[in-house]
């Protein structure tokens, strides 16, 4: 086994007809007296190893025949094309050395219930579907950095422990901070506004925490948000940034995750529609009219916030993600800038994903006038003292600025076509789940 090139399965295509070495785990196996088919994974991809008794000799073949699921090993062999598999390549085993034994691996190839799988999330991550999900998650994160760097944004990290609560304290996790109280961040936005006035265009990417008691397929307790904020930028231009960013994420997954999409059964043709710009834009007023005219929402009145059924209905009327513009003030936070000619709505927009995946972005132009912002803070029942530093941004060289927040796991769930957001994060935190 000495002297062979050590490769990863993902690179097998570059080593056809060559003998190589691979560190791998066994995920499944089919054996007969003469030939064994080993399903292998090495963390980069999955493929098949073929072990033939007549070539390996009795002792090694017996060892291979009795390998158990998730045994780790060093395999040597020759790479061949395998046109029958998704992956396209396989290894003809010439040698095998066990590294770590594995007995009674809990996740077997049979079906398991979701609670069982989530209890074993630390092991479940090894399976093909979670693996594909996490590779796509990584691609979306990578593409995020590429996009914002290309457009001249600086990443400014927002703190996770905060002394004040941006939107009120109801959904906040409170914790001790020595002899004071602190909150886990539910958004980095206010800090990004400070960043924008110092660096022009900034973004943050970090975990956010919401003590939401709602148990839906779209809500995590801990989720990751990308929050860009741009100085000297009005909402119209921000909407352009948002749609270019979302289309770029979809295109990046199409370009770089073809194999993972196929493992998940996600049709790339559907995703291609979402790379076409611009995205449709309708007003909140129009959205209410559409819901009323549908007949499906007899109770709905102007002023109502949209739940999942409303968002799904609206999204279904379009082929692409759709922006809903200018929501009523009463259902949005205080820091948004009011509409110039109407006193009942803000200059804001949510982006709804197609196919019933709900809101993936919330954004707005920000109130940039000191007096109006201070009044809005008071009107929201918040303490202006706690926002003194935030008000400084309007005291010293205030400028029009806009920003938005994209929920990473919402975007992943939509792009992958998965039904539940818990599969879009390595270790989900849910209403009833804090482990593993």
Binding site for ligand ATP (CB under 6 A): 210, 212, 218-220, 223, 225, 358-362, 405, 407, 409-410, 421
User: Two tokens at 263?
Assistant: 């493992």
CA angle, residues 186, 236, 410, in degrees to nearest 5: 35
Shortest spacing between CB 241 and ligand ATP, in angstroms: 15
Shortest spacing between CB 219 and ligand ATP, in angstroms: 4
Shortest spacing between CB 258 and ligand ATP, in angstroms: 26
Please say which residue, 79 or 325, places its beta carbon nearer to ligand ATP.
325
Please say which residue, 218 or 337, places its beta carbon nearer to ligand ATP.
218
Q: What is the DSSP string of 319-336?
A: SS-EEEE--BGGGS-TTB
Dihedral, 137, 143, 148, 149 alpha carbons, nearest 10: 120
Separation of alpha carbons 85 and 83, rounded Å: 6
Please say which residue, 226 or 264, places its beta carbon nearer to ligand ATP.
226
Please say which residue, 158 or 361, places its beta carbon nearer to ligand ATP.
361
Please say which residue, 9 or 421, places its beta carbon nearer to ligand ATP.
421
Shortest spacing between CB 293 and ligand ATP, in angstroms: 23
Shortest spacing between CB 207 and ligand ATP, in angstroms: 11
Please say which residue, 321 or 362, places its beta carbon nearer to ligand ATP.
362
- Sheet of 180-184: strand order equals 161-162, 180-184, 174-177
Please say which residue, 39 or 326, places its beta carbon nearer to ligand ATP.
326
Shortest spacing between CB 210 and ligand ATP, in angstroms: 5
Among 200, 214, 168, 201, smallest CA distance to 187 is for 168
Please say which residue, 225 or 250, places its beta carbon nearer to ligand ATP.
225
> Please, which residues have CB within 8 angstroms of residue 337's CB and are 6 or more apart in sequence?
235, 346, 347, 364, 365, 366, 367, 368
Shortest spacing between CB 350 and ligand ATP, in angstroms: 6
Q: Which residue is closest to ligand ATP by CB?
A: 407
Please say which residue, 70 or 418, places its beta carbon nearer to ligand ATP.
418
Shortest spacing between CB 223 and ligand ATP, in angstroms: 4
Can you name the residues that pair with 406 across neighbouring β-strands? 226, 361
Q: What is the DSSP string of 263-315?
A: HHT--HHHHHGGGSSSPPEEEHHHHHHHHHHHSS-TT--TTPPP-HHHHHHHH
Shortest spacing between CB 171 and ligand ATP, in angstroms: 8
H/E run at residue 205: strand 201-209
Burial class (CB in 10 A: 0-12, 13-18, 19+), 283: middle
**Rg over CA atoms, the chain:** 26
Please say which residue, 50 or 304, places its beta carbon nearer to ligand ATP.
304
Shortest spacing between CB 387 and ligand ATP, in angstroms: 18
Q: What is the DSSP string of 30-88?
A: EE-SSEEEEEEE-SS-EEEEEEEHHHH-HHHHHHHHT--TT-EEEEEEEEEE-TTSSS-
Among 249, 199, 255, 208, smallest CA distance to 227 is for 208
User: Two tokens at 175?
Assistant: 């914790």
Separation of alpha carbons 220 and 118, rounded Å: 14
């Amino acid at each position: 086994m000495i002297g062979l090139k050590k490769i990863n399965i993902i690179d097998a295509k570059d080593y056809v007809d060559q003998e190589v070495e691979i560190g791998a785990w066994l995920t499944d196996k089919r054996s007969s007296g003469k030939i064994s088919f080993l399903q292998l994974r090495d963390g980069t991809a999955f493929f098949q190893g073929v072990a033939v008794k007549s070539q390996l000799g009795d002792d090694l073949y017996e060892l291979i025949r009795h390998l158990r699921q998730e045994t780790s090993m060093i395999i040597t062999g020759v790479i061949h094309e395998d046109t029958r598999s998704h992956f396209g390549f396989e290894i003809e085993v010439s040698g095998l050395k066990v590294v770590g034994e594995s007995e009674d691996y809990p996740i077997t190839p049979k079906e398991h219930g979701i609670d069982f799988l989530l209890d074993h999330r630390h092991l479940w991550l090894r399976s093909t579907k979670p693996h594909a999900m996490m590779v796509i998650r990584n691609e979306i994160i990578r593409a995020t950095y590429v996009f914002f760097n290309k457009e001249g944004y600086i990443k400014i990290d927002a703190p996770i422990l905060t002394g004040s609560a941006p939107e009120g304290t109801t959904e906040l996790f409170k914790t001790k901070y020595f002899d004071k109280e602190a909150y886990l961040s539910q958004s980095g936005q206010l800090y990004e506004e400070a960043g924008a006035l110092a660096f022009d265009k900034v973004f943050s990417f970090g975990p956010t925490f919401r003590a939401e008691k709602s148990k839906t397929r779209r809500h995590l307790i801990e989720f990751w948000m990308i929050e860009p904020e741009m100085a000297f930028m009005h909402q119209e231009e921000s909407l352009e940034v948002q749609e270019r960013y979302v289309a770029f994420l979809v295109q990046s997954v199409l370009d770089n995750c073809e194999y993972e999409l196929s493992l998940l059964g996600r049709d790339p043709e559907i995703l291609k529609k979402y790379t076409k710009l611009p995205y449709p834009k309708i007003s909140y007023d129009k959205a209410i009219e559409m819901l009323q005219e549908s007949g499906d929402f007899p109770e709905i009145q102007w002023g109502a916030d949209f739940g999942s059924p409303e968002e799904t209905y609206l999204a279904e009327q379009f082929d692409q993600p759709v922006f809903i513009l200018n929501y009523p003030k009463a259902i949005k936070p205080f820091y948004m800038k009011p509409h110039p000619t109407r006193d009942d709505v803000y200059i804001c927009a949510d982006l709804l994903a197609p196919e019933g995946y709900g809101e993936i972005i919330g954004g707005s132009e920000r109130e940039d006038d000191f007096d109006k912002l201070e009044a809005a803070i008071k009107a929201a029942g918040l303490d202006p003292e706690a926002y003194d530093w935030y008000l400084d941004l309007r005291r010293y060289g205030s400028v029009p600025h806009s920003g938005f927040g994209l929920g990473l796991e919402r975007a992943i769930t939509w792009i992958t076509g998965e039904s539940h957001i818990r599969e879009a994060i390595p270790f989900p935190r849910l209403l009833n789940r804090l482990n593993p």
